[in-house]
Amino acid sequence: MTELNRIALKILENGKGILAADESTGTMTKRLHSVKVESTPQNRILFRETLFSSEEMRQCIGGVILYDETIKQTASNGKSISQLLSEVGSMPGIKVDTGAKQMAGSSDEKITEGLDGLRERLKEYSKLGAKFTKWRGVYNISNKFPSKLSINSNAHALARYAALVQECNMVPIVEPELLMEGSHSADDCFAKTSAVIKKCFEELILHNVDLSGVILKPNMILAGTESRHKISNEETAKLTVKCLKDTVPKEVPGIAFLSGGQTEVQATENLNLINKFNDTDFIMSYSYGRALQQSALKYWAQDINDIKGTQAIFNHRAKMCTLAAKGKWSKELENK
């Protein structure tokens, strides 16, 4: 077992998942404003530290993806955020892309930027305690999208990123996200997600990336938000497992799904069913942002000093997600 493989497995062991707390300052500001809380560095770290010091972090959260501002902040007890996470057995991670920008040559699609200067930034993040990283490629689904240009360009960028991350002895999370927005069917989502993931692994192999030290962060197979052809949660789970069986090399240790705009309970229920139908050797867990934090954020906004109440809500959500990662979640437990 390589060190990278050990880190990847440690993050996802025993039903643990990943808390995606890597919202940029702009995105976090929107989230805080939506619940009428002023977005200051102090309030941003107060909310995050409230979650990071919750009881269920130890049992449920194997890794936390941080943003550049957050990994450089200090906790209220004077410790670094990386230290705070390490002490509860959660590995610190860092988002390293600089965002999806309009793609030249395909004005309706995006390419993720951030490769310039990445090697130097990775060295700095490693010194700050990061053990893994994240880079997101984003794709539209329609009759003509994602284009071959988008599929190839984003796969190439993800592979170059992953190779640089492993050179720095960190685990890369590879996140190709096909967006839920649109009128596409689940079959469209299946076909296009399959094409994107296949291309990503072709490029990763070409760039000599050690697949046993990679975590894939894909979307689930869902019909578009405006689609007339919705499918059941069971069908979502079966199609998602089939897609990953067909496209992901066996060396990959784990898959951590993004929630992609699903509600907290939807994302949990679908993950639970995926694990019931999972007949592969892949660990299938979660890497959720909103689907772990939204209820806690709404509660916290009513009184930002009610740490215990906010943590109780986050603890419940984390526990439900980890049960789902083991295929042991139920509606009865959800509503307890």
Tell me: the pLDDT tens digits for 196-244?
999 999 999 999 999 999 999 999 999 999 999 999 999 999 999 999 9
pLDDT tens per residue, range 68-81: 999 999 999 999 99
E-state strands within 179-315? 215-216, 254-257, 283-288
DSSP 160-197: HHHHHHHHTT-EEEEEEEE-S-SS--HHHHHHHHHHHH
Q: 164 phi and psi, to 5 degrees?
A: -65, -40
Measured N-to-C along each axis, helices 290-302 and 41-52 cross at an angle, to the nearest 10 degrees, of 120
Distance CA 314, CA 298 (A): 11
Residue 207's pLDDT is what?
98
Is residue 217 part of the annotated active site? The answer reads yes
Q: Rounded to whole angstroms, what are the CA distances from 257 to 53, 58, 194, 218, 267?
A: 24, 20, 15, 5, 9
pLDDT tens per residue, range 2-15: 999 999 999 999 99
Q: Tell me the HSE value of 104 on the side-chain side, using a 13 A CA sphere.
A: 1
CB 325 within 8 A of CB 211: no
DSSP 14: G
Residue 1's pLDDT is what?
86
Residue 336's pLDDT is what?
84
With cut-offs at 50, 70 and 90, classify the pLDDT of residue 106: confident
Q: Which of 217, 230, 242, 298 is catalytic?
A: 217
Q: Rounded to whole angstroms, what are the CA distances from 302 to 57, 178, 289?
A: 23, 34, 20
pLDDT tens per residue, range 148-207: 999 999 999 999 999 999 999 999 999 999 999 999 999 999 999 999 999 999 999 999
> Among the CATH numbers 3.10.20.30, 3.90.550.10, 3.40.50.10300, 3.20.20.70, which is that of 3-334?
3.20.20.70
Residue 151's pLDDT is what?
98
pLDDT tens per residue, range 246-287: 999 999 999 999 999 999 999 999 999 999 999 999 999 999
